[in-house]
Amino acid sequence: MEPRQQHPPANHPTRHRKEGSTHVRLVLRRRWSALAAGLLIVAAGVGLSTASADTGGGDASTATAKAKAKAKAAGQFRNPVNPGADPTVVHHDGNYYAATTQGDAIRMWKSPSAATLLTSQAHEVWKDSDPSRNTQIWAPALRKYEVDGKERWYLYYTASDGNDSAHRMYVLESEGTDPLGPYHFKGKVADPNNDRWAIDGEPFTLGGKLYFSWSGQRDDGVGNQLFIAPMSNPWTISGGRMYLPAEGNCPEVREGPTPLYNKDGRLYLTYSACDTGKPDYTIWSKSIAPDGNPMDAGAWTQEPGPMFSRNDEAGVYGPGHHSFFKSPDGTEDWIAYHAKNTSTYTYSWRTTRIQKIGWTADGKPDLGRPAALGTALDLPAGDPGPGTKVINDTDEGTGDLQVSYTGNWNSGSQCGVQCYAGNDHWSQEKDATATFHFTGTQLALLSVKDTGNGIAAISVDGGEEQRVDYYGKPRVGEELQWVSPKLDPGPHTVKVRVTGEKNADAGAAFVSIDRAEVTP
């Protein structure tokens, strides 16, 4: 048995990635909590009515406590919930919808439970043939509005011709009321009198008026700064932009602005600071009173920060570029964000995670600390579940929710916080196997990708094998390697066989076994 190529240290050092007057009613907010009940304000060209919601803060009601108890009974899940970055997540009509940066198109995932978002099918909702905007497609943001009596989804995104300097913001409009579309191109979202490099745009409202916020380039050429402009409808900027100075732990980036409202209507415009490739990418915020003027930089208060940052003990680096959404029953606020479990400076391996947030006694958002990958979290209140179950690499045996090995395998805790429960198994012996035994309808494999990893052959219930390359650079853990097809309910096996093969860049042919997520 040859020794395994050693994992690099778990905490060694780690781009910026990265039409006319219309009556509009806000139907669903993706990234902020609703204002006080009954608020109805109509502004020039834009009418916005907001729904009643308890947005957190204060003591929980009996109904809220019951909803949370129900959520806990429905099961638990573990992050990540998507292998992509820059997430937008909404819950609508009994389903979660998530979209992340894909580069060549906009894809969306739909699932009735947060526990099964990771294994849900990708739907390609938009691919553009216009060469000026059909590549480097980043940062989708999904909103629902009623325009002239018709409810439609608006999907905001950033795209270019392949050159970063050409990045601009665009928006799609759905043909009907399905978040999966179909969509048609609605327009470019830009200040026509100052059309500069721009990314990460999305709307917000204050005082009954609609505004657009984004990360753009100042007139002096400095990029990745926050800007705000008024809108006359969900696709049209109707006035000059305003530069919003904002603090951060790094000087180079202010991006991904997204709004969050407390129960009193105060707006917290949260944003990410620092280069997203760095481990110190983090979330900050500026806030403004409900009656403030967003186009007056002096009306904003810089909140102390960071609000949400790296958690070295948990192996979470670079948490940011986020969105907010409500639990299915509306009683909880949740954040969706991307992060890595390597401190290496890289834009690769950013995955989407979700977790519940709270509120302080004085009404400020409390985002907490990012949880380690694999941490068991209660499903959002009102999520029907059932939650997924986990098989660790050390759950050895041939019973339900166990894994059995043949051939020579190493095991240990060298991977530390990059592995589930701090350990994994690995082998490069040809035809060594690891067989997962489970009762359920689907199984997902998550484990280490490494420069010394090779190719596995994976089969279900003794069927045809599928080749899966476990290579990755830099090394990361708890990465989604493979998802089974949907299976009939009942007992099944998934066998991982070491082939001894590797790609040309790999230094060895190891295969890693860490955790499996089982859908009942």
pLDDT at 286 over 60: yes
What residues contact 19, with CB distance under 8 A and at least 6 apart? 187, 233, 235, 236
Tokens of 40: 């109805």
Burial bucket for residue 313 (CB in 10 Å: 0-12, 13-18, 19+)? exposed
| Residue that is last in its domain, among 347, 378, 409 | 378
pLDDT at 353 over 60: yes
Asked, for residue 311, whether it belongs to a domain, the answer is yes
Residues 281 and 400 in one domain: no
Residues 370 and 410 in one domain: no
Using alpha carbons, list the distances in angstroms from residue 34 to 50, 123, 265, 266: 6, 29, 8, 10
Asked, for residue 309, whether it belongs to a domain, the answer is yes
Residues 230 and 361 in one domain: yes
Asked, for residue 458, whether it belongs to a domain, the answer is yes
pLDDT at 478 over 50: yes
Asked, for residue 12, whether it belongs to a domain, the answer is no
Residues 33 and 127 in one domain: yes
Tokens of 433: 């196997």
Residue, of 257 and 73, whose pLDDT is higher: 257
- Residue 306 is part of a domain; what is its CATH number? 2.115.10.20
Give the pLDDT of residue 24.
54
- Residue 514 is part of a domain; what is its CATH number? 2.60.120.260
Tokens of 17: 């990635």
Residues 37 and 61 in one domain: yes
CA–CA separation, 45 vs 12, rounded Å?
54
Residues 307 and 201 in one domain: yes
Residues 68 and 150 in one domain: yes
Residue found under tokens 């006319």: 20
With the C-alpha atoms ordered 504, 505, 507, 509, is the resulting torsion angle positive or negative?
negative
pLDDT at 438 over 70: yes
Contact 308, 320 (CB under 8 A): yes
CA–CA separation, 434 vs 418, rounded Å?
20
Asked, for residue 19, whether it belongs to a domain, the answer is no
Give the pLDDT of residue 374.
97
Q: Report residue 4's pLDDT band, with 50, 70 and 90 as the boundaries.
A: very low
Give the pLDDT of residue 19.
35
Express each pLDDT in 215-256 by its tens digit.
999 999 999 999 999 999 999 999 999 999 999 999 999 999
Query: What is the dihedral angle through the alpha carbons of 223, 225, 229, 233, rounded to the nearest 10 degrees?
Result: 80
DSSP per-residue letters across 60-91: PPHHHHHHHHHHHHH-EE-S-SBS-EEEEEEE
| Residue that is last in its domain, among 378, 401, 423 | 378
DSSP state of 247: -
Phi, psi of 187 (to 5 degrees): 160, 175
Residues 39 and 98 in one domain: yes
Asked, for residue 7, whether it belongs to a domain, the answer is no
| Residue that is last in its domain, among 378, 402, 419 | 378
Active-site positions? 86, 255
Express each pLDDT in 82-113 by its tens digit.
999 999 999 999 999 999 999 999 999 999 99
pLDDT at 481 over 70: yes
Tokens of 10: 């778990």
Using alpha carbons, list the distances in angstroms from residue 43 to 26, 49, 362, 450: 13, 11, 30, 55
Phi, psi of 166 (to 5 degrees): -90, 5
Residue ranges with strand state E in 72-149: 76-77, 85-92, 95-101, 106-111, 122-126, 135-147
DSSP state of 133: S
Domain range for residue 31?
Answer: 24-378
Tokens of 90: 């909404």
Residues 366 and 448 in one domain: no
Express each pLDDT in 295-347 by its tens digit.
999 999 999 999 999 999 999 999 999 999 999 999 999 999 999 999 999 99
Q: Find, among 104, 98, 180, the residue nearest to 137 by Cα.
A: 104
Residues 404 and 321 in one domain: no
Q: Find, among 78, 111, 82, the residue nearest to 94 by Cα.
A: 111
Task: Kindly state the percentage of the chain with pLDDT values over 70.
Answer: 86
Residues 427 and 502 in one domain: yes
Asked, for residue 15, whether it belongs to a domain, the answer is no
How many domains, the chain? 2
Give the pLDDT of residue 47.
38
Express each pLDDT in 166-187 by its tens digit.
999 999 999 999 999 999 999 9
Contact 48, 26 (CB under 8 A): yes
Length of the chain: 520
Give the pLDDT of residue 74.
81
Asked, for residue 203, whether it belongs to a domain, the answer is yes
Residues 316 and 398 in one domain: no
CA–CA separation, 356 vs 324, rounded Å?
10
